[in-house]
Structure 1
Amino acid sequence: MKIYIKSCVFIFAILCSFGKNLNAQRNTTKPKLVVGIIIDQMRYDYLTRFESKYGDGGFKRLINGGFSLENAHFNYIPTYTAVGHTSVYTGTTPDNHGIIGNNWYDKYEKKSIYCVDDANYKTVGNNGDGGKKSPYRMLTTTMTDQLKLAQNMNGKTIGIGIKDRSAILPAGHTANAAYWFDGGSVGHWISSSYYLKKLPSWAIRFNTSGKADEYLKKPWNTLYDISTYNESIADDNNFEEPFKGEDKPIFPHNIPSLRSKNNNYSIIKAIPAGNSLTVDFAKAAIDGENLGQSDFTDFLAVSFSSTDYVGHQFGVDSKEIQDTYLRMDKDLERLLNHLDKKVGQGNYTVFLTADHAAVQVPSYLKSIKIPANYFSYKKFEDYLKSVTKKYFGAEDFIENISNFQVFLNKENIEKKNFTVTNVADVIAENAILFKGIYKSVTAKSMQSGTFSKGILNYLQNGYNQKFSGDVLLVPSPSTISYPKKGSTHGSGYSYDTHVPILFYGKGITVGSSNKKFEIIDIAPTISNLLGIEFPNGNTGKIIREALIK
């Protein structure tokens, strides 16, 4: 009996030791810091188009030393900044997380609203209104929220982006702080009282360092000889919008002299220096917050927004966008090198993606005989009023048209003894006859049917019954509502949905895949790596190929 008891004790001790070793192994697989990088308006082909001019320490380091998804797409409409950032971090689409645009028409308040505006909070960092923000309109949790919950609210989460929405939404509801750049006459990084009572000392030091002014003292010229930028169209063309004060949209751009005519500090948002300033601030946050130095996993969510401003103004084929990405490559290298130094190579995990891509300037496409067009909301609204007058004898049934959605005035429809369903059906049937509209679907169809593939599936994933309109529209390919110089995004076509997804660092294998994945797959993949619960609205799947088995 004694021998039996001793044997049991010995076996129990071995099992306990094994369990402790197993837990130790599990703990060592978790990074000390996760860095989520979103590059605003980055098409996948920017990786391949400019590959020969990238250095080895930026994009190529992530590709060659990490895992690259070559066929990753957004799976919803609309592909806008706020929606993209939210979908990456929540692992789901607007039908669940509730962020259906940057701005959208609120059919309850009868006005247009902005995704992160919140009058319940005050600006932290100055006396302006730029900090009256919060993530309260985002209805689900993010992977950053889930990490905080899993660690009993320990560990730090910091969001950083030139745009407020790009800093706030990824950081989630439970972040320690989110910071964004207040331009105009201010030129400082600010936050909201949702997070903080005052800026930390490191952020104050940064704001008073004069970094922004240093960048604005230099003209924007090309990083390399402009004659070598053979991947882009001619610098002097009719498809780009010059800065205010410029006669032509060509290099060099004299930023010091243009500054006063382009809202002072705000011009830094629209040049590559905005990305450089973001890296500088991110480095200051890593140091000031001691990220990656505790027993818990921290999360730094960084968004680079200047790429989007440049893309909108100059278009995706411009020498300006090429130079912006060559400089972005250098800034990315600076950030990675700082992580090596402060957190340690092998101690952190990075993912890099985009919030959407972009279409070529339609006027440029038309000039080379590729079908493209422009859409006028005013003409479309006049057309729909003629339709409702013809079928219902009324012109006041249309309450709002925005984001390619039609909101009906239910009160006026009911007063005329018609039903919203009947009016929506007629509008959808006639909207398709308008030039530039490729598909039109009623909200009723979104609610009662299931579209399992194709662009209507994307439309359904972006449709939120509580917030979306009564008729949803899909424009024809390469058709946008925008000036004829510069370009935009928002559709479900490949030029807007195809973006990079790169994983790198702790827990990530080396390789690539050309299988189709979706942007919502990032959150469950990172959550699985961290051993935490998925965001509570998650509909994505784990990208197992990217993780060390």
Structure 2
Amino acid sequence: MNKIFFTLLIVMLCFSCKAQNQVSLNTNQSDDAKPKLVVGIVVDQMRYDYLTRFSNKFGEGGFKRLMNEGFNCKNNHFSYVPTYTGPGHASIYTGTTPKYHGIIANNWYDKEIKETVYCAGDDSVLAVGSESEAERMSPHRMKTTTFADENRLFTQMRGKSIGISIKDRGAILPAGHSANAAYWFRGKEEGNFISSTYYMKNLPKWVKDFNNSEAVESYLKVWNTLYNISTYTESGDDLNDFEEGFKGKETATFPYDLKKLYDKNAGFDILKNTPYGNSIVADFAIAALTGEQLGKDNITDVLTVSFSSTDYIGHNFGVNSKEVQDAYVRLDKDLERFLNTLDTQVGRGEYTVFLTADHGAIDVPTYLQSVKIPAGYINNKEVRTKLTNFLSKTYGATGLIENLSNNQIFLDRDKIKMLNLNLEDVQETIVNEVITYKHVDKVYSASTMNKTSFTTGIESLLQNGYNQKRSGDVILVPDTGFISYGRTGSTHGSGLNYDTHVPLLFFGKGISHGETVQKTEITDIAPTISALLGISFPNAAIGQPLEFVLD
């Protein structure tokens, strides 16, 4: 009996040791499974349908490689209003919405100091690489962490975080508060990538070398379509009434001689409005891989890259333009060479990429009107004048409105208190007045946002974008297809599908192959990457990891 017991004990110990070895092996595999580099790519103003509409013009190594070898979330949406660049980049990387991260717009009226502030502006720092007072930037207005911050904390600050974009906010907000660096493009007469004293005292040698290389100057050339313009059947006529174009050129039609147009279009800023702005970002991101030694060890680094020129081009020429189509055809080529460089410098299968957008865009309303689709324009000055007159008659006082911006009305609360008026009553009075205005679809007060919990519809999106401390007293929702903008070019900002539906592609190490039409939200990205890395989620993240994306 003792022999049998002893034999069973030996067998159990053997299985136990084997199991322990397997656990140890699996743990090591888990560590090895982490990518050496995570690359977050945001394409500014990219609607989801650009992936499908321009597909026949894409090669196999850019967008199609990400889709064919990675995971395509086809029904990905923003879950808040307003859909602008600053809130978009912040939400992608924090996994939460303006309600929590506090970036409620690109610019907003600050109720405390009674001035309009910029989402990345910071008077306590100075520009590095430029003497301009306009380039004093940091992430200090963003109230929460990004997944890049959490990776820095997890790795005891050994994992790097670098942000790159044409736009300062597109570089600064994604890289997070603890970033090693954020670099953005200073146009005008300079044409250089710069940073701020928030990150460093002097630009690194590799950045100075890039700025001195004349790489930027080489793009001051003729912009024509990459392929014969007659093959661009996925976009509208080149000559039309819906595009702004460039100063110094009579029509918004190809070709564009950028060197000739340089002086009348703010110098190097003209490159921002062409696909070459994206090419410059790709060039600089490739230089950063070597310059910052990204992905060179087993401690995960984070590189955030925002391609902003697509937004400038969309604003200028509109969703249906030949210029937008050419921008995406050329961006596809830039993505291909960037991915090929990652293969070479980091190692194929050693890095993870996601690609998404900070918002979509509406077709130019004048174009929509021309094809009998309901659309149009709202004049905010007229709204303010009409409302001011109404309030003056109602309360016998002027100056109750401090600011009207981002479809929000900010009231002078001190004056309301001085007049012994009830703030909520004034808010509701404005709601009942403004809802009668032409092309205003819905109006909500701050008290409604604070007291009512919405779970569906535009009301839920408004609430997710409403920050109690920073947002206004009354929120307006225009009719579908109506915008406050010029009559040429596209814009964005609503909670409608043309603004909320954007691509979401995952690719590389730890990512499954496949696709889904299940609805995903922009706030799911940061938790998914955090789960992949085994790190803490950003501190205010509300999204959920997309388990089906992870291999």
* TM-score, normalised by the number of residues in structure 1: 0.97
Letter in 2 for 1:269: K
Q: In the alignment, which residue of structure 1 is the partner of 2:169?
A: 165
1:521 aligns with 2:510: no
1:95-115 residue CA offsets vs partner (Å, 9 max, x unmatched): 010000000000100010000
Verify the 8 A CA contact 1:103 1:115 in the aligned structure 2: yes
Task: Determine the C-alpha separation between the residues in 2 that align with 1:477 and 1:6.
Answer: 74
Compute the displacement of 1:155 (Å).
1.1
Q: Secondary structure at the match of 1:495?
A: helix
Amino acid of the structure 2 residue aligned with 1:538: A
> How does 1:340-359 map onto structure 2 within 5 Å?
340-359=343-362
Instruction: Encode CA deviations 1:334-386: one digit per residue, 9 max, x unaligned.
Output: 10000001011100000000000000000111111111111111100011112
Which of 20, 25, 32 is residue 29 of structure 2 equivalent to?
Answer: 25
Residue of structure 2 in register with 1:469 after alignment: 472
Residue 87 of structure 2: which of 61, 76, 83 is its match?
83
1:361 pairs, out of 346, 360, 364, with: 364
Counterpart AA for 1:222: T
Match of 2:378 in 1: 375
Amino acid at match of 1:153: M
Instruction: Find the aligned partners of 1:19 and 1:521 in 2 and give their Cα distance.
Output: 29
Alignment of 1:409 with 2:412, yes or no, is yes
2:537 is equivalent to residue 534 of structure 1:
yes
Q: Which residue number in structure 2 is paired with residue 74 of structure 1?
A: 78
C-alpha deviations, 1:94-144, integer Å up to 9, x for none? 001000000000010001000011111111113222441110110011010
> How many Å separate the matches in 2 of 1:94 and 1:541?
17
Q: Distance in 1 between matches of 2:19 and 2:124?
A: 54
Task: Confirm whether residue 105 of structure 1 aligns to residue 122 of structure 2.
Answer: no
Give 1:5 shift: 10
Local SS of the residue matching 2:402: strand
Matched residues in 2 for 1:416 and 1:300: separation? 53
Secondary structure of 1:277's counterpart equals helix
| SS of residue matched to 1:343 | helix
Matching residue of 2:398: 395
**Cα distance between partner residues in 1 of 2:17 and 2:141:** 51
- The structural deviation recorded for 1:70 is 0.7
User: Which secondary structure does the structure 2 equivalent of 1:499 belong to?
Assistant: coil
> C-alpha displacement at 1:13, in angstroms?
5.5
Structure 1 residue 12: Cα displacement: 7.0
1:401-433: per-residue Cα shift (whole Å, max 9, x none)?
Answer: 000000001121122221111111000111111
Determine the C-alpha separation between the residues in 1 that align with 2:259 and 2:131.
27
* Cα distance in 2 for residues equivalent to 1:191 and 1:12: 56
Is this contact kept in 2: 1:130–1:182, CA < 8 A?
no
Q: Which residue of 1 aligns with 2:389?
A: 386
Q: What amino acid does structure 1 have at the position aligned with 2:46?
A: M
Distance 1:134 1:488 in 2: 26
Matched length: 547
CA–CA separation in structure 2 for the residues paired with 1:11 and 1:370? 70
Tell me the residue number matched to 2:65. 61
Amino acid across the alignment from 2:426: V
Between stretches 220-229 and 2-11, larger displacement belongs to 2-11
CA contact 1:72–1:501 (8 Å) conserved in 2: yes
- 1:199 matched to 2:208? The reply is no
Q: Secondary structure at the match of 1:179?
A: strand
Q: Which amino acid aligns with 1:382?
A: T
Whole-angstrom CA distance in 2 between matches of 1:411 and 1:173: 34
Q: CA deviation at 1:65?
A: 0.5
Alpha-carbon distance in structure 1 between the residues aligned to 2:329 and 2:8: 71
Structure 1 position 17, deviation (Å): 3.2
What do the CA deviations read for 1:145-191 (whole angstroms, capped 9, x no partner)? 11111111111110000000000000001111000000001110001
Q: Aligned partners of 2:522, 2:429: CA distance in 1, in Å?
A: 35
Partners of 2:347 and 2:32 in 1: how far apart? Answer: 14
CA RMSD, Structure 1 to Structure 2 (Å): 1.6
Pairs within 5 Å for 1:130-169: 130-169=134-173
Per the alignment, in what secondary structure is the counterpart of residue 301 of structure 1? Answer: strand
What TM-score, normalized to structure 2? 0.97
Code of the aligned partner of 2:444:
V
Deviation digits for residues 288-331 of structure 1 (CA, Å, limit 9, x no counterpart): 11111112000100000000000000000000000000001000
- 3-state SS of the aligned residue for 1:426? helix
Question: 1:36, 1:351 within 8 Å by CA — same for their partners in 2?
Answer: yes
Partner of 1:118: helix, strand, or coil? Answer: coil
Q: Identify the residue that residue 253 of structure 1 maps to in structure 2.
A: 256
Match of 1:454 in 2: 457
Which letter maps to 1:114? Y
After TM superposition, give the deviation of residue 525 of structure 1 in Å. 0.6
Q: What displacement does 1:16 show?
A: 4.9
Which of 29, 34, 40 aligns to 1:36? It is 40
**Partner SS state of residue 211, structure 1:** coil
1:190 aligned to 2:204? no
CA distance in 2, matches of 1:226, 1:191: 38
Q: Distance in 1 between matches of 2:376 and 2:393?
A: 28
Long gaps (5+) in structure 2: none
Q: Please state if 1:437 is matched with 2:440.
A: yes
**2: distance between equivalents of 1:81 and 1:475?**
20
Counterpart of 2:230 in structure 1 is 227
- Write the distance in 1 (CA, Å) between the matches of 2:361 and 2:257: 27
Whether the 8 Å contact between 1:89 and 1:523 is mirrored in structure 2 is yes
Q: Secondary structure at the match of 2:82?
A: coil
1-structure distance, mates of 2:20, 2:489: 64
Tell me if structure 2 keeps the 8 A contact 1:155–1:294.
no
Contact 1:232 1:317 in 2 (8 A): yes
- Please list the CA deviations of residues 30-57 of structure 1 after superposition, one character each: whole Å capped at 9, or x if unmatched: 1000000000000000000001111000
Please give the per-residue CA displacement for 1:181-205, whole angstroms capped at 9, x wherever unaligned. 0000111000111111211111110
Moved more, 76-85 or 426-435: 426-435
Q: Percent of aligned pairs with the same residue?
A: 53
Shift of 1:18: 3.2
Match of 1:51 in 2: 55
> Does the 8 Å CA contact 1:39/1:352 hold for their aligned counterparts?
yes
1:268-279 alignment runs, 5 A limit: 268-279=271-282
Q: Distance in 1 between matches of 2:376 and 2:131?
A: 44
Partner of 2:285: 282
Letter of the structure 2 residue corresponding to residue 64 of structure 1 = N
